[in-house]
Amino acid sequence: MSQEWPRRPEDLARRYREQGFWEDGLLDGLLREQAARQADRPALVSGGDRLSYAELDARVDRLASGLAGLPIRRGERVLVQLPNRTEYVVTVFALFRIGAVPILALPALGPADLESLVRTGGAAAMIVAPGRGPGASSAVAERIARTAPSVRHLVVTGDPGGGEALPWDSLLSSSAAPPTGPASPERSPDDLALLLLSGGTTGTPKLIPRTHADYRYNARASAGASGVNGAAVYLAVLPVAHNFTMVSPGIVGTFAVGGTVVLSPDPSPTTAFELVEREGVTISALVPALVGPWLEEARRSGRDLSSLRVLQVGGSRLDEATARRVGPALGCRLQQVFGMAEGLNNYTGLDDPEDLVCTTQGRPLSPADEVLVVDEQGDPLPAGAVGELLTRGPYTLRGYYRARELDPLRFTPDGFYRTGDLVTRSENGDLTVVGRVKDQINRAGEKIAAVEVEEMLMALPGVRGAAVVGLPDPVLGERSVALLVVPGQECPTRDEVRAQMSERGAAAFKVPDEVRRVGRLPLTGVGKVDKKRLREELMREELTRG
Ligand code: AMP
Ligand code: DBH
């Protein structure tokens, strides 16, 4: 087990415990604790469901019994790909309760990524929704479940449509007997609790190990930073499986303090505003690409948004002009959140001056977060200088799951995570994100690993060279542009690229927004495509084109 993911050194772990960062307690314990404290308070609102803490906790018990009966055992991984509905929350907390480890897959992930997660994670089961998302159709899930040797069970919410899958409802056992009896081995807050997806810089997404203690701390501290307490009503607009929606403070943070979580079935502002008015939503979280549509809709719609106190925006860089419109248009405070599934969360303060809130991406959440801004040699830089952000702390990973070979690349010898983000830090510790070292495109918050797309482009007929870069885009943050070297042949069209990529199981958001033919690609000294120069050349061209 210890080879699968590196734990923190014992002296550091002891310090985090002694200083109160890590509490005793497991993630599902958060529901148990609230059910004991305030049984009748609304915990979860989704579609027609309205569950109190006692009801939600009981439903988690019933599913936990069903899952344990399959059996799914403590420590086993289970791929979960579900939309923003009650079943997601119940599933994830039931897995926590039996000590199994959900792998949280976004609905937009395609079959190729799903399969790679199942294989890397060695998943014993898959729990998916029928026909939701390109990767989640029952047929795709059935194929993966059949071919991946580790998978023993496939569970589908809704109608499994006559296939091999087990209906999720049938697992809601009638008895709520504790799924893990006294004979089960002692569980620890330091156990692996869940596996999150990294945006990834290599071809396949990496798995991020998070423990019960570190995730509980991340959630509770985030609730503090965003003013979420027992009176809060948190609206989940982004996919529930995203770390932002889970823990910053998201679903887990809201449960930690006994507030109410409302799930929006889709990200449209029309749906969201109806829920804000009906449920008295106090806080929600968006990626920058959704902010414009929200501001537009606020102008048009007659909905009463007066309950809204805080709008969090994160996932990619929010431009200052849009940032300044949020407060006046929505009548609430903006909070920028710069986070990563690997751990570190930064928040602008709710009482910060407007200039700071609109121009920086916040400060580290925890007094125990260590951050360094370093140059290419790894030497620390003074305040104001641009460099790579390194971080270490009580909720930041020390290595990816089953990817020990990446440790020397992505971590320093003393355990700092190399974020790949280029930032500046002010004298006061406020961070501003200015770019990325790592070669990925951040398209509306969806991270695209350039190499993965390039690999697929190279497989097209006649293509001799391919590079994918992100260029600034007012709506998407970055749009992806593919440059193809196709000597003496027709350049493939975007439709042909799309067809080829979808055949290879790629998610739709990974298809380049633009495909251009070039004569050559600029190379570095060692002969790698010089992305930095390429991007500069393209941006110059854009400027001269007007
Ligand atoms: P992931 O590794 O998929 O969890 O994505 C995390 C990355 O998203 C960070 O390392 C940043 O590159 C980017 N990111 C997240 N929040 C922000 C933000 N508020 N501003 C700019 N970039 C962000
Ligand atoms: O982009 C992210 O991964 C992200 C953004 C905001 C995140 O993981 C988070 C907050 O926790």
* CATH number of the domain bearing residue 417: 3.40.50.12780
Evaluate: CB of 338 within 6 angstroms of ligand 1. yes
DSSP tag of 186: P
6 within domain boundaries: no
Statement to judge: residues 200 and 164 lie in one domain: yes
Is the predicted pLDDT of residue 439 greater than 80, yes or no?
no
How far apart, in whole angstroms, are the C-alpha atoms of residue 80 and residue 77?
A: 10
18 within domain boundaries: no
In sign, the C-alpha dihedral spanning 437, 442, 445, 451 is negative
Report the share of the chain in percent with pLDDT over 90. 73
Evaluate: CB of 396 within 6 angstroms of ligand 1. no
Q: Is 320 exposed, middle or buried (0-12, 13-18, 19+ CB in 10 A)?
A: exposed
Evaluate: CB of 315 within 6 angstroms of ligand 1. yes
Statement to judge: residues 205 and 263 lie in one domain: no
Cis bond before residue 239 (omega within 30° of 0):
no
In sign, the C-alpha dihedral spanning 284, 126, 441, 253 is positive
How far apart, in whole angstroms, are the C-alpha atoms of residue 213 and residue 215?
A: 6
pLDDT bin (cut points 50, 70, 90) of residue 109 is: confident
pLDDT bin (cut points 50, 70, 90) of residue 184 is: low
How far apart, in whole angstroms, are the C-alpha atoms of residue 516 and residue 325?
A: 35
User: Which residues form the pocket of ligand 2, taking CB atoms under 6 Å from any ligand atom?
Assistant: 243-244, 247-248, 314-315, 337, 339-341, 345
> Ligand 1: distance of its center to the CA of 339 in Å?
5
4 within domain boundaries: no
Structural domain ending residue among the three candidates 376, 401, 436: 436
The whole model's pTM is what? Answer: 0.86
Ligand nearest to the CA of 288: 1
Minimum-distance ligand 2 atom for the alpha carbon of 316: 1
Minimum-distance ligand 1 atom for the alpha carbon of 197: 3
333 within domain boundaries: yes
> Ligand 1: distance of its center to the CA of 508 in Å?
20
Is the predicted pLDDT of residue 174 greater than 80, yes or no?
no
> Ligand 1: distance of its center to the CA of 338 in Å?
6
Beta-strand ranges (E) seen in 444-509 are 446-449, 465-473, 477-485
Q: Tokens for 155?
A: 């569970």
Statement to judge: residues 417 and 367 lie in one domain: yes
> Ligand 2: distance of its center to the CA of 515 in Å?
29
Ligand nearest to the CA of 201: 1
Statement to judge: residues 264 and 311 lie in one domain: yes
Question: Residue 30 in contact with residue 252, Cβ under 8 Å?
Answer: yes
- The pLDDT assigned to 545 comes to 74
pLDDT mean over 264-288: 96
- Domain housing 92: 23-210
Evaluate: CB of 91 within 6 angstroms of ligand 1. no
277 within domain boundaries: yes
- The pLDDT assigned to 134 comes to 47
Report which protein residue has its CA nearest ligand 2's atom 8: 340
Statement to judge: residues 423 and 468 lie in one domain: no
Residue in 218, 243, 389, 438 to alter for ligand 2 test, most ligand atoms within 8 A of Cβ? 243
Statement to judge: residues 527 and 483 lie in one domain: yes
pLDDT bin (cut points 50, 70, 90) of residue 1 is: very low
3 state DSSP class of 194: strand
Over residues 297-308, the pLDDT tens digits come to 999 998 999 999
Is the predicted pLDDT of residue 121 greater than 90, yes or no?
yes
Q: Of 92, 84, 163, 85, whose CA–CA distance to 127 is shortest? A: 92
318 within domain boundaries: yes
Statement to judge: residues 396 and 250 lie in one domain: yes
Structural domain ending residue among the three candidates 402, 436, 470: 436
Ligand nearest to the CA of 318: 1
Return the CATH number at 541: 3.30.300.30
Question: Residue 488 in contact with residue 448, Cβ under 8 Å?
Answer: no
Return the CATH number at 79: 3.40.50.980
Q: What is the mean pLDDT of the chain?
A: 91
> Ligand 2: distance of its center to the CA of 6 in Å?
22
Evaluate: CB of 339 within 6 angstroms of ligand 1. yes
260 within domain boundaries: yes
3 state DSSP class of 512: coil
pLDDT mean over 525-536: 72
> Ligand 2: distance of its center to the CA of 240 in Å?
12
Q: How many domains does the chain have?
A: 3
Residue in 340, 365, 452 to alter for ligand 1 test, most ligand atoms within 8 A of Cβ? 340
Q: Tokens for 22?
A: 């890590």
Minimum-distance ligand 1 atom for the alpha carbon of 243: 4
Report which protein residue has its CA nearest ligand 1's atom 22: 316
Structural domain ending residue among the three candidates 182, 210, 238: 210
Burial code (b: 16+ CB inside 10 Å, e: under 16) for 123-162 equals bbbbbbbbebbbbbbbebbbebbeebeebebbbbbbebee
Statement to judge: residues 407 and 524 lie in one domain: no
> Ligand 2: distance of its center to the CA of 83 in Å?
18
Minimum-distance ligand 2 atom for the alpha carbon of 243: 8
How far apart, in whole angstroms, are the C-alpha atoms of residue 237 and residue 46?
A: 12
Statement to judge: residues 315 and 238 lie in one domain: yes
Statement to judge: residues 449 and 514 lie in one domain: yes
Statement to judge: residues 131 and 224 lie in one domain: no
Q: Tokens for 306?
A: 């007066």
Is the predicted pLDDT of residue 132 greater than 70, yes or no?
no
Evaluate: CB of 418 within 6 angstroms of ligand 1. no
5 within domain boundaries: no
Over 339-396, what HEC string results?
EECCEEEEECCCCCCHHHHHHCCCEECCCCCEEEEECCCCCECCCCCCEEEEEECCCC
Cis bond before residue 9 (omega within 30° of 0):
no
Statement to judge: residues 358 and 406 lie in one domain: yes
